[in-house]
Homo-oligomer: A and B are copies of this chain.
């Protein structure tokens, strides 16, 4: 039996370690889950004993295959619920995360597979993140942050890194969303801000924004 709390730890470790590929240290987990480092130490010991990850004292943890399977399954549920909320229940992309955080823990194979079919097997969630299929397979779209884009080229917005309500509302208020066409006009070396063209208008976004907006060449 796996608990809701254990699932949250495993998912956090999965994301912090780039899909479970890198080691993750204690403080990073504590930060992500808004808890204390000592609590994390206790939990990773337990998760290690249960076979979800490998733990070396003072070194950090890395997910096992078993741990990655759990993580991917939760991510799958999280993203499918997000699609449901936006497509069927009139949620906006800045409202879904909090609710999906709870729905992702509902345990029913039939529920999630039927939900997926009901939504007609969506490939991406409302933030542009890929949705794993029932076998845990998914492909990452090759995308580049606006901060790493090239001046003069034209891109489509395909995702966001920061999924906080604040950031998403900022994008909304500037008419930036998935599918928006963006031309990179100029990069200011002084503060790394970027001048872009969208909907025939020009605007300047900060480095912070440029780092959290993912694009794909058209």
Contact = CB atoms under 8 A, between A and B. Distances in A.
A161 interface: no
A138 interface: no
A109 B168 CA distance: 21
B110 A91 contact: yes
B88 A111 contact: no
A115 B102 contact: no
A106 B95 CA distance: 15
Main secondary structure of the interface of A (DSSP, over half): helix
Interface range, A side: 10 to 19
B102 A107 contact: yes
Nearest to A114: B89
Contacts of A107: 102
A103 interface: yes
A99 interface: yes
Interface in A74-100: 85, 88-91, 95, 98-99
Contact of A114 (B91, B103, B108): B91
A99 B108 contact: yes
Contacts of A115: 89
A91 B111 CA distance: 8
Contact of A111 (B99, B108, B111): B99
A190 interface: no
Contacts of A88: 118
Interface of A: 85, 88-91, 95, 98-99, 102-103, 106-108, 110-111, 114-115, 118
15 contacts: A88-B118, A89-B110, A89-B111, A89-B114, A89-B115, A89-B118, A90-B114, A91-B110, A91-B114, A95-B110, A98-B108, A99-B108, A99-B111, A102-B106, A103-B106
